[in-house]
């Protein structure tokens, strides 16, 4: 009885693997650029940080905890990665600027670059997923920490080339006026004042 042949994917240590590697390109795409040259897979992000590279772990929540010790309160971190009304403050004032980045460095993984909106190995098919959008130059944007009964006031500036919005997921708040209105569109170059009142009986948790 003849044995059935099974094609197995070559095994690669995750520490040396990239998000898209040479094998995947050969398997499901042309694997070549517009000049018919093979893609340089080393330019792709690594799957995991390399164990031989020391990476500084950045955590806005940890920064917030470190800044709130012995009865001290801070409204904004030195790096701008969090805003807080925790403590005696009842209003969380935040300035947010929506902008587009050309590239973003992810320590230990590599540099993520915005594309030209075309997929070269799909006959230059247009895609909206090659744009890097940021709040205050951060992806994700700064963490906002507040309490039930507080008010979030956001001055939102749209520096994108298209309309956008500020909307939360998980907050049980009103969309009226300048509230959490998912249907409102902020035009390019415009500024909008958002005001979200957190109910006194609102649950505690993480929202985005």
pLDDT in tens, 7-43: 545 555 666 666 655 555 555 455 566 677 766 655 5
**Total domain count for the chain?**
2
Q: Are 48 and 124 members of one domain?
A: no
Structural domain including 126 reads: 54-197
pLDDT band for position 50 (50/70/90)? Answer: low
Q: Taking 50 as the threshold, does the pLDDT of residue 198 lie above it?
A: yes
pLDDT of residue 28: 47
Q: Are 49 and 84 members of one domain?
A: no
Q: Residue 151 falls within a domain, yes or no? A: yes
pLDDT, tens digit, for every residue of 166-195?
A: 899 999 999 999 999 999 999 999 999 999
pLDDT of residue 147: 93
CATH number at residue 146: 2.60.40.420
Q: Are 30 and 74 members of one domain?
A: no
The mean pLDDT value for 56-61 works out to 80
Contacts of 158 by beta carbon, 8 Å cutoff, 6+ apart: 98, 164, 186, 187, 188, 189, 190, 191, 192
pLDDT band for position 124 (50/70/90)? Answer: confident
Distance of CA 196 to the CA centre of its chain: 22
Query: Distance of CA 160 to CAs 115, 130, 187, Å?
Result: 16, 14, 9
Q: Report how far residue 151's alpha carbon sits from residue 167's, in angstroms, rounded to the nearest whole number.
A: 15
pTM, two decimals, is 0.70
Q: Report how far residue 9's alpha carbon sits from residue 28's, in angstroms, rounded to the nearest whole number.
A: 13
Q: Report how far residue 135's alpha carbon sits from residue 196's, in angstroms, rounded to the nearest whole number.
A: 18
Contact 151, 89 (CB under 8 A): no
């Amino acid at each position: 009885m003849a044995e059935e042949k099974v094609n197995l994917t070559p095994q690669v240590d995750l520490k040396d693997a990239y998000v898209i590697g040479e094998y995947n390109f050969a398997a499901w795409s042309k694997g070549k650029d517009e000049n018919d040259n093979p893609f340089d897979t080393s330019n792709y992000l690594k799957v995991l940080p390399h164990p031989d590279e020391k990476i500084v772990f950045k955590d806005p929540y940890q920064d917030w905890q470190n800044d709130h010790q012995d009865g001290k309160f801070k409204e904004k971190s030195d790096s701008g990665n969090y805003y807080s009304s925790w403590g005696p403050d009842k209003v969380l004032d935040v300035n947010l600027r929506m902008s587009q980045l050309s590239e973003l460095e992810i320590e230990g993984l590599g540099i993520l670059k915005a594309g030209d909106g075309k997929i070269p190995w799909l006959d230059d098919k247009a895609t909206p997923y090659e744009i890097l959008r940021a709040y205050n130059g951060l992806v994700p944007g700064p963490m906002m920490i507040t309490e039930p009964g507080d008010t979030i006031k956001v001055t939102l500036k749209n520096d994108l080339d298209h309309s956008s919005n500020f909307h939360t997921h998980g907050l049980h708040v009103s969309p009226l006026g300048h509230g959490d209105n998912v249907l409102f569109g902020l035009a390019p170059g415009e500024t909008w004042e958002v005001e979200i009142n957190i109910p006194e009986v609102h649950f505690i948790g993480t929202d985005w």
